Amino acid sequence: MKKRSDIIAVAIFLLLYLPASIHAAGIPAEPGLHFYVFSQEQYNDNINLTPTNKKASFITTVGPGLKYNKTGAKSSVDLEYSVGFVNYGKDYGDNNISQNGTLNVKYLTKEHINFYLKESFIQSDEPRELEALSSAADNKYVLSISPERSVYWRNIIEPTIEYQFGPENRVGFTYRNNTYSTTSSLSENSQENYIKLFFDYWLNKRNGIHLDYGNTIGTFQISPGMNAQKLNARYTNRFNQRSSIFGEFALLRRHFDASSGDYDIYESYAGTTHAFTPTLNASAQVGYFMKNPTSGSRIDGLSYKAGITKTDVLTTYTLSLQGGYTEDFFTSQNLGFSKYDRFTGSVVHFLEKRMSIGLSVALEQAELNQGRKELIWGVEGTLSHRPLKWLTMALVCSHKTRDSNVEGYGFDENRGMVKITVSY
């Protein structure tokens, strides 16, 4: 019990005595190859995310990792991989191994044929999962939550090749393979194969067009297979060096290997971007979407997105507001189409060169299939300190709540975590 009370005391200290601007902030990556080992102690008061009969646990994770970063005028490589041995104390049956890996590669040739590669791999037993190719700083999670705490694997690999025939003119294609596998008997394995053809052409310095076509083939362990196409067209006018306006139209068609469930989505919107300063940028767009299913009622509504980002030497903050519709496929529950509204925000501030604090918040409202409605919100605070070049310490506290009008889907969760990383 003393161990638990010590962590709770640290969490209370963090919430009461640190300034309001707290968020997980990392130390900028240094060029070259670096190895590290980490030890993480976490207290979680609801590890299964259940509304009742909550199960609390201390979770210890230790393991090695590596980072590699190299950037040049024509190429760059950014790689990180870590493996963790996860121990649940007395609950030995929950012990497992976690893995996290990311890779970003860029290679530009003198023939103006450019190559890009992204890859993300994760092995985890977390019931909540970040959106694909997003980071913890983005604070954006899929709507699906695993109905039980079980290990899953996700690997996403996304190569892109393009031909650049002007400063901003290019044509090319992107391929993505997204594979999800789980040990849960209540979820299903799935795989996404996606290809996108794109074309960017600027008529002059002010006026440009963007066209892309995407095709998705989805296979599921239990659910019907899916084939989808999306056509997108965008026109942009840059009326000065700092501002632009744009209009966009998109058509999406979903077809399932079943007798019903197919639908089309039409969406159009207009927006603007503006750079107030070299370090302060904002964007906003508003539009309308309409979902036409082969059976059932039409669904339509307002779609919108707005964001602001500021980055300087000491402070970075990002605010994002968006809504309309989203789709949740290739996840633990495959919830499909839903209407939603979401706000996320984060602030990172360096108190001095090797110490940072910050705050991240998220609020989301979703209307899912069969009348299910949910309100999801969370807040997380972090203090990160690097007293020595090879030593980093972090303290994290978070709270998450999910209220649902369907019994069994709501939960409250509190976490406190201390992490120490030694690198060389």
Tokens standing for 366? 């979703």
The reported pLDDT for the residue numbered 91 is: 77
State the distance between the two ends of the chain, measured CA to CA, in whole angstroms: 35
Residues 6 or more apart whose CB falls under 8 angstroms from that of 12 comprise none
Q: Tell me, yes or no, if the pTM score tops 0.85.
A: yes
| Interatomic CA distance for residues 355 and 18, integer angstroms | 13
Burial class (CB in 10 A: 0-12, 13-18, 19+), 92: exposed
Of the candidates 178, 129, 120, the one whose C-alpha atom is nearest the C-alpha of residue 149 is 129
Between CA 22 and CA 264, with CA 320 as vertex, the angle to 5 degrees is 145
Tokens standing for 217? 């083939």
Just give the CATH number of 2-423: 2.40.170
Q: Which residues pair with 315 in a beta bridge?
A: 349
Residues 6 or more apart whose CB falls under 8 angstroms from that of 236 comprise 207, 208, 209, 210, 244, 245, 246
pLDDT in tens, the chain (424 residues): 444 444 334 333 333 333 333 333 344 467 899 999 999 999 999 999 999 999 999 999 999 999 999 999 999 999 999 999 999 987 778 899 999 999 999 999 999 999 999 999 999 999 999 988 787 777 789 999 998 899 999 999 999 999 999 999 999 999 999 999 999 999 999 999 999 999 999 999 999 999 999 999 999 999 999 999 999 999 999 999 899 999 999 999 999 998 779 999 999 999 999 999 999 999 999 999 999 999 889 999 999 999 999 998 899 999 999 999 999 999 999 999 999 999 999 999 999 989 999 999 999 999 998 789 999 999 999 999 999 999 999 999 999 999 999 988 899 999 999 999 999 8
